[in-house]
């Protein structure tokens, strides 16, 4: 099949998932452009990405709500496809400042779509970062893509609203090719240890919290509940290595036919997938909080002291993905195991802790 290398814009590309995806795309021969306002990332990440891949990355500082700048960016760089990572993502915070979440995530996405519609070369390929949180409390497991959606917090509802907008857009204009990727629980880091997840302040998510306890930055972990209906009573989640997740984006772009040479697109319609397509990106395996602690202790050779604490409001017992659709349609499955997730996370955490004077937040620019 004849393919070409693409100019791909990553909104939020210096963040945790975007930065790892930038490496995968660049290494696959595409040209990556990063558009970020750095509200939750460090501009130095671009240099780190260059260090990892040996190739320069063009970065544009801007807010996704700046439609004119986005349109100019799309046109100047002749962008073929956009992967839309930019957004606010803290569930708890979204309940405190919902208007900011809707403004940033929903309004920001509308602005991006307007810019893509206005761009003279008509870029129509989009991959969107959705989330397993759109499923709410699962009615059955594993969760497949036709499971009913019922987000239980403002953050999740921003993702659902955006999915609806994208569905309407794809129906209104058949030239759009859109993939909504519903991520399960991304963890781990690039093998270099130079990029990874290093949130500002006290982490909300399990894995960065465990890593910071192991490295001695935090004293102990609170395990939120051990009375769930799960094998050991603690919450079960589908943790996926961020590099597997990153590779899922490349698979989605290929599925949409983004990289097919123009003449192939014209001559062989069946090789592209227009419309909106939704995929879970997970491993299909669930691990409990206690299993995660044990795996991290083994990978780091450090103790992770913990206390059993009350359940966290809004938490569910178990959540893991059906991976069948992504395997069948995208030809993608997660390959890296729990050991690799914990080892890479530990490697990154050690480097981040050692990197004196680093003022990184979500992604370290070590
Ligand atoms: P992140 O916070 O590390 O990255 C998001 C990036 O977007 C940051 O670099 C931030 O500066 C940028 N950004 C935010 N608002 C912006 C705006 N208005 N204009 C320009 N840039 C802006 O988050 P992440 O973990 O890499 O997540 C990426 C996407 O995946 C998000 O949309 C998130 O909701 C989604 N997601 C994440 C997870 C997870 O657990 N990490 C799970 C499911 C879905
Ligand atoms: N968790 C925990 N202590 C923490 C953070 C998380 O016990 O400090 C548990 C949480 O209750 C859930 C699992 O770890 O069962 C994963 O939580 P996370 O916030 O990482 O992901 P999410 O709940 O959004 O899937």
Q: Are strands 236-237 and 287-288 parallel, antiparallel or unpaired?
A: antiparallel
- Is 314 contained in some domain? yes
Q: What is the C-alpha to C-alpha distance for residues 189 and 344, in angstroms, rounded to an integer? A: 5
Give the CATH number for residue 320.
3.40.50.720
| 136-180 tens-digit pLDDT | 999 999 999 999 999 989 999 999 999 999 999 999 999 999 999
pTM (predicted TM-score)? 0.95
Q: Which ligand 2 atom is at minimum distance from the Cα of 236?
A: 15
Ligand 1: which of 82, 84, 85, 196 to mutate, judged by most atoms within 8 Å of the beta carbon? 85
Q: Where residue 200 falls among pLDDT bands split at 50, 70, 90?
A: confident
Q: Is pLDDT above 50 for 89?
A: yes
Percentage of the chain lying above the pLDDT 70 cut: 93
Q: What is the mean pLDDT of the chain?
A: 93
Q: Is 345 a pocket residue for ligand 1 (Cβ < 6 Å)?
A: no
How many C-beta atoms lie closer than 10 Å to residue 164's C-beta?
Answer: 12
Q: What is the C-alpha to C-alpha distance for residues 250 and 293, in angstroms, rounded to an integer? A: 31
Q: Which ligand 2 atom is at minimum distance from the Cα of 319?
A: 25
Q: Is 280 a pocket residue for ligand 1 (Cβ < 6 Å)?
A: no
- Is 347 contained in some domain? yes
Q: What is the C-alpha to C-alpha distance for residues 261 and 351, in angstroms, rounded to an integer? A: 41
Q: Where are the beta strands (DSSP E) in 107-238?
A: 125-131, 177-183, 185-187, 221-224, 236-237
Nearest to 130 by CA among 87, 171, 168: 87
| Per-residue model confidence (pLDDT) at position 2 | 54
Ligand 2: which of 90, 236, 312 to mutate, judged by most atoms within 8 Å of the beta carbon? 312
Q: Is pLDDT above 60 for 237?
A: yes
Ligand found nearest the CA of 17: 1
Q: What is the CA radius of gyration of the chain?
A: 20
- Is 290 contained in some domain? yes
Q: Domain total for the chain?
A: 1
CA-nearest residue for atom 20, ligand 2, is 205
H-helix or E-strand containing 69?
helix 67-76
| 209-233 tens-digit pLDDT | 999 999 999 999 999 999 999 999 9
- Ligand 2 center to residue 206 CA distance, Å? 5
Q: Which ligand 1 atom is at minimum distance from the Cα of 108?
A: 18
- Is 180 contained in some domain? yes
Q: What is the C-alpha to C-alpha distance for residues 146 and 65, in angstroms, rounded to an integer? A: 31
Q: Is pLDDT above 50 for 276?
A: yes
CA-nearest residue for atom 15, ligand 2, is 235
| 302-314 tens-digit pLDDT | 999 999 999 998 8
Q: Is pLDDT above 90 for 267?
A: no
- Is 365 contained in some domain? no
| Per-residue model confidence (pLDDT) at position 307 | 98
- Is 2 contained in some domain? no
How many C-beta atoms lie closer than 10 Å to residue 179's C-beta?
Answer: 26
| Per-residue model confidence (pLDDT) at position 364 | 43
Q: Is 235 a pocket residue for ligand 2 (Cβ < 6 Å)?
A: yes
- Is 64 contained in some domain? yes
- Is 361 contained in some domain? no
| Per-residue model confidence (pLDDT) at position 245 | 98
Looking at residues 27-46, what average pLDDT do you find? Answer: 96
CB contact at 8 A, 225 and 233: yes
Angle between helices 206-214 and 289-300 (to 10 degrees): 40
| Per-residue model confidence (pLDDT) at position 198 | 81
CB contact at 8 A, 357 and 258: no
Angle between helices 242-256 and 16-27 (to 10 degrees): 60
> Coil, strand, or helix at residue 298?
helix
Q: Which residues pair with 222 in a beta bridge?
A: 307
Range of the domain at 69: 7-354
Q: Is 73 a pocket residue for ligand 1 (Cβ < 6 Å)?
A: no
Token pair of 108 as six digits: 């920001």
Q: Is 205 a pocket residue for ligand 2 (Cβ < 6 Å)?
A: yes
Count the residues in the chain. 366
Q: Is pLDDT above 60 for 87?
A: yes
Is 155 among the residues known to form the active site?
Answer: yes
- Ligand 2 center to residue 27 CA distance, Å? 32
| Per-residue model confidence (pLDDT) at position 10 | 98
Q: Which residues pair with 237 in a beta bridge?
A: 287, 319
- Ligand 2 center to residue 47 CA distance, Å? 32
H-helix or E-strand containing 51?
helix 45-53
Token pair of 293 as six digits: 């602690």
Q: Which ligand 2 atom is at minimum distance from the Cα of 132?
A: 25
CA-nearest residue for atom 24, ligand 2, is 205
């Amino acid at each position: 099949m004849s393919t070409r290398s693409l100019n791909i814009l990553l909104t939020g590309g210096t963040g945790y998932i975007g930065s790892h995806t930038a490496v995968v795309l660049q290494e696959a021969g595409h040209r990556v452009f990063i558009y970020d306002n750095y509200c939750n990332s460090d501009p130095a990440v671009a240099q780190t990405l260059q260090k990892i891949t040996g190739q320069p990355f063009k970065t544009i500082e801007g807010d996704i709500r700046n439609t004119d700048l986005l349109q100019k960016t799309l046109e100047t760089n002749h962008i073929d496809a956009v992967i839309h990572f930019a957004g606010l993502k803290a569930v708890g915070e979204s309940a405190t400042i919902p208007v900011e979440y809707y403004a940033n995530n929903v309004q920001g996405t509308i602005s991006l779509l307007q810019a893509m519609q206005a761009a003279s070369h008509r870029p129509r390929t989009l991959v969107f970062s959705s989330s397993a949180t759109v499923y709410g409390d699962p009615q059955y497991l594993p969760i497949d893509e036709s499971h009913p959606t019922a987000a239980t917090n403002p953050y999740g509802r921003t993702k659902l609203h955006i999915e609806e907008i994208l569905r309407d857009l794809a129906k209104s204009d058949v030239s759009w090719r859109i993939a909504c990727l519903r991520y399960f629980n991304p963890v781990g880091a690039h093998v270099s240890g130079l990029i990874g997840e290093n949130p500002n302040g006290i982490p909300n998510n399990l894995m960065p919290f465990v890593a910071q306890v192991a490295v001695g930055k935090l004293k102990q972990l609170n395990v939120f509940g051990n009375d769930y209906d799960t094998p050991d009573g603690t919450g079960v989640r589908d943790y996926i290595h961020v590099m597997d997740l990153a590779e899922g984006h490349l698979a989605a772009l290929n599925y949409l036919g983004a990289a097919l040479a123009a003449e192939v697109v014209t001559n062989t319609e069946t090789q592209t997938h227009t419309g909106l397509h939704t995929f879970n990106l997970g491993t299909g395996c669930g691990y409990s909080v206690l299993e995660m602690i044990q795996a991290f202790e083994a990978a780091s050779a450090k103790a992770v002291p913990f206390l059993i604490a009350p359940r966290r409001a809004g938490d569910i017992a178990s959540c893991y993905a059906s991976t069948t659709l992504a395997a069948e349609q995208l030809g993608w499955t997660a390959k890296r195991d729990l050991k690799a997730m914990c080892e890479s996370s530990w490697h990154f955490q050690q480097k981040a802790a050692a990197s004196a004077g680093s003022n990184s937040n979500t992604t370290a620019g070590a």
